[in-house]
Amino acid sequence: MGQIVPFRPKKLVIGILISRPRMRSCLIEELQSRYGPIDYTSRDLPFAYTRYYDEEMGTPISRFFISFLRLVDPGLLAQIKSETNELETRFCEAGKRKVNIDPGLLGLSRFILASSKDGSHRVPLSGGVFAEITLVYEKGGYRALPWTYPDYRSAEYLDLLADIRQLYKAQGNQRFA
């Protein structure tokens, strides 16, 4: 029989689609108040991988990533997704989202995204939230899976996630804050 041990803490990484740059600082403040100090912020990356969000969010849309210094218990991913969905609602204008907040967990071997959408490759967590292994880390780099979104396959995203992985690796065997 395998022994049940506590999860190793993971790095909380949030990808944010935004169409109203003026909302950025307020959104970051909200996220910091919930999840603590930020240790990585990417530059804004143009989001042109799909037109799926254009009608609701308006254009142009960009994405940026942030990660948090404080590591989190992976068992909290569903709660974090629920909280970020609430934030999306708070930042709506005329009932339409202007930000899309995608929380994920980065470990040494994989990057996991939370989703409210079911799929054959997604595992139910709780409260209508699912987890998806989006990327696996092997042989010195991230590898996409058949369902990985096109933007998460891009060299830019893979490079910045590798940078965040280095931050996580440097944190060693820290326990939860």
Helices (H) and strands (E) in the chain, counts: 5, 9
Residue the block writes with tokens 């967590």? 125
Residue 160's SS3 state is helix
User: How far apart are the C-alpha atoms of 8 and 168, rounded to whole Å?
Assistant: 12
The burial of 80, by beta-carbon neighbours within 10 Å (0-12 exposed, 13-18 middle, 19 or more buried), is given as buried
Give per-residue pLDDT as tens, 111-131.
999 999 999 999 999 999 999
Q: Is the pLDDT of residue 176 over 90?
A: no
**Whether residue 106 has pLDDT greater than 90:** yes
Handedness of CA 43, 24, 114, 62 (dihedral sign): negative
Question: Is the pLDDT reported for residue 177 higher than 90?
Answer: no
Asked whether the predicted pLDDT for residue 5 surpasses 80, the reply is yes
Assessment of whether the complete model's pTM goes beyond 0.85: yes
Residue-level pLDDT at 172 = 82
Q: Give the mean pLDDT of 56-79.
A: 97
Task: Say whether pLDDT at 174 is over 80.
Answer: no
**Rounded to an integer, what distance in angstroms lies between the CA atom of residue 73 and that of residue 105?**
9
Is 57's pLDDT higher than 70? yes
Secondary element (H or E) of residue 133: strand 129-138
pLDDT of 38 reads 98
Q: CA 145, CA 80: separation in Å to the nearest integer?
A: 24
Query: CA 167 from chain center: how many Å?
Result: 16
Q: Which two structure tokens, joined as six digits, stand for 170?
A: 């440097």
Q: What is the set of domains in the chain, with CATH numbers?
A: 11-170 (3.30.70)
